[in-house]
Amino acid sequence: MGCACQRFRPSGFIGGRARRPWSGHDDRKEPGVRQEWEPEDLIEVWTLLEEDQERLRDKSGANRLGFALFLKFFEVEARFPENAEEIPAPAVAYVAQQVKVSAEEWAAYAWAGRAIKRHRVEIRGAFGFRECTEEDQAQLAEWLAVELCGVELSRDRLAEAVVARCRKDRLEPPTPGRIARLVGSAVRASRSWRTGTAPTTICSTARTAT
């Protein structure tokens, strides 16, 4: 079986938003996965390769379709979707056709339980990623406080930097809520350092926050 991690293309963080052509970006709206797709883009991004199909051999029904969608979404975004609506309907239909499962089965995919946990573990392994631990989050907060908080005031940009750093280090990013808390602890620590009032190390502050 081929290694899917060889196909992963992490996006860079270059002074703001660095986006793949298939990720939606409108300056008037929140960024996210594009919901409308041209056929050629759909084929380029959401086509299952031979090694992808190999991973589906022991899966059926909603689990088969759900795993395939999670796999391709992770390849694009280097994270898992927050909810079913985040995966574009055209992608659901196209992937369902490839795995020979009705697209309606996507609604039956269980977002809690042992199956989805196994799927996440397998997909992270396929791309050479691992979960972001408490220690990782503390180190990310320290990196933000030392390297970025003094020059970047936008918390949204700092959150994007965390996601980009996770991609670079092949870490599954924390949830948006945890990232927001991580950024907040880094900003507070950076401010305390600049004013000479820091009572604790950033690592201990980040662990408390996360």
Contact (CB, 8 A) for 31 and 23: yes
8 Å CB contact between 90 and 42:
yes
Q: Tokens 């408390």 sit at which residue?
A: 208
E strand segments, the chain: 23-24, 32-33, 130-131, 171-172
The mean pLDDT values, 10 residues at a time, for the chain of 210 residues are: 46 30 38 80 95 97 98 94 95 98 98 97 97 95 91 89 95 94 91 66 51
Helix (H, G, I), strand (E, B) or coil at 23: strand
Distance CA 208, CA 153 (A): 22
The Cα 133–Cα 150 span in angstroms is: 25
Report pLDDT for 17.
25
d(CA 98, CA 56): 11
